[in-house]
Chain A
Amino acid sequence: GQNIDQPTEMTATEGAIVQINCTYQTSGFNGLFWYQQHAGEAPTFLSYNVLDGLEEKGRFSSFLSRSKGYSYLLLKELQMKDSASYLCAVRDWGNTDKLIFGTGTRLQVFP
């Protein structure tokens, strides 16, 4: 089975840096994804890690440690529009490539 844990809520100030952690316990692992979801809207893809290390994409970076079952999403230079839920998802192993999602972290950015 798959168990994916994220903090439920976080708050931060505009212009700051925030790190959202994700830990997972899975029977298999074939990649970790981060999605952003604004309330009532579709999730949108942010980043993907399959090997250990840091992937940087503009203001967003994601880190993976497979041995620790741990990932984080780093958001820099926070903007008000970054207020959203951030979903961590693990790609299943085997014949299917389905993603198993955590419950998400709701981030509120204050001025």
Chain B
Amino acid sequence: DSGVTQTPKHLITATGQRVTLRCSPRSGDLSVYWYQQSLDQGLQFLIQYYNGEERAKGNILERFSAQQFPDLHSELNLSSLELGDSALYFCASSADLPPYTFGSGTRLTVV
């Protein structure tokens, strides 16, 4: 157990739907990062939050949004889902500096 908790582990949903992925960072970590990993693709950076505020944004689609709450857990919202959004979504957390610790991921399948 890495200490970073992601729920749910698996999610199957239809095109056009909206889902929410949840991440609880390791105790004491203020930074949360979201990554997308499609089949045979590298980890694509989506967004970073630090202590409740957005710090960096990657190639995150407008249909996707995220937030970090006062208790430091984070949620990634994916809407108007398309088949191409099927992927593994990882959350990672860190204290002031890397390395990150990754959660076990949420496997999203859009049908």
Instruction: Kindly identify which residue among A43, A44, A91, A96 contacts B43, using a CB–CB cutoff of 8 Å.
Output: A43
Q: Which of A10-18, A60-68, A100-108 contacts B (4 or more CB under 8 A)?
A: A100-108
Question: Do B99 and A96 touch (CB < 8 A)?
Answer: no
Measured in the bound complex, the distance between the Cα atoms of B71 and A66 in whole Å is: 39
Which of A48, A101, A102 sits near B99, CB closer than 8 Å? A48
What's the minimum C-beta distance from B46 to chain A, rounded to whole angstroms? 10
Instruction: Specify which chain A residues have a CB less than 8 angstroms from the CB of B88 in the assembled complex.
Output: 40
- Chain A interface main SS type: loop
Q: How far is the CB of A83 from chain B (nearest CB, A)?
A: 16
**4 nearest A-B residue pairs (beta carbon):** A96-B56, A103-B42, A42-B102, A45-B99
Indicate the member of B43, B97, B104 with the most A CB atoms within 10 Å: B43
- CB neighbours of B101 from chain A (8 A): 45
A96-B2 in contact given A43-B43, A103-B42 (Cβ < 8 Å): no
Contact, CB under 8 Å: B100 / A104? no
Q: Is the CB of B48 within 8 A of A91?
A: no
The CA-CA distance from A92 to B98 in the complex, in Å, is: 11
Contacting residues, chain B, for A95 (C-beta < 8 A): 55-56
